[in-house]
Amino acid sequence: MVPPPLCTLPPGPGPPRFVCYCEGEGGGPGERGGFNLCVTDAAELWSTCFTPDRLAALKARFGLSAAEDIALRFRAACEQQAVTLTLQEDRASLTLSGGPSALELDLSKVPGPEAASRLQTLTLGLAERVCSLERRLAAAAAEETATSPRKSARQAGPRLFLPDPDPQRGGPGPGVKRRCPGESLINPGFKRCLPAPHPSCAQGPAWTLPTPPHPTASSPLLSQ
């Protein structure tokens, strides 16, 4: 069931001062049993106070076939922020724009005891709508979680990547092992020998070949 329309006035980002809503026939719960448009500042209440004759005259004036048509016009005006309120002592004027023609309605101030009863009905109805909306949001969130278990498992699983680099030192974090000079990239832990004079893993003492003597005059080769 679509909830009855309502809006806050004035429209825009500023704090609201009034709540404009409909009650009764086709619009929402109301103790009077008929359709009415109402405006309240949570302390006082203004209402169209339609009687059957006044409602019939309004429908004939604007070419409306039923009271629900007024509710539809009011809903469209609320969505388009096309509701204008004018207060004049004990009376008020409500203008609904955005349709083929503007719909102007006169509202009268409701006496205190009756206003208190109708404002109580409005407050309880708004609380019920808020609770219903919260239940629907919670059910939608639970359904989304139940239909995507893989996504939840991925979010809760262990990290398979290396830690982020240390921003202070500009190098890898403590979880990354540093490679020693001469260590093989393919077989970690195996070191290869570096060229002299600073071998990293010498196999033993260095052997040198004897230098052959230079031929002299007494050498048998020269004497021959």
Distance of CA 64 to the CA centre of its chain: 40
Q: Is 84 part of a structural domain of the chain?
A: yes
- In the chain, how many domains are there? 1
What's the pTM value of the predicted model, to 2 decimals? 0.58
Is the pLDDT reported for residue 84 higher than 90? yes
User: Is the residue at 221 inside a domain?
Assistant: no
Mean pLDDT of 188-198: 58
pLDDT for 31 beyond 50: no
- Residue 28, CA distances (Å) to 6, 119, 164, 174, 203 in order: 10, 13, 58, 65, 97
CB 116 within 8 A of CB 44: no
Average pLDDT over residues 59-84: 84
* Residue at 209 is within a domain: no
Whether the ω angle into residue 10 lies within 30 degrees of 0, i.e. cis, is yes
pLDDT band at 30 (very low <50, low <70, confident <90, very high): very low
Residue 157 lies in a domain: no
Tell me whether residue 104 is in a domain. yes
Residue 12 lies in a domain: yes
Rounded distance, CA 209 to CA 106, Å?
121
pLDDT of 91-120, one tens digit each? 999 999 877 788 899 999 999 999 999 999
What's the confidence (pLDDT) of residue 223? Answer: 46
The residue ranking higher by pLDDT, 16 or 46, is: 46
Domain coverage including residue 85: 6-131
Residue 143 placed within a domain: no
Residue 163 placed within a domain: no
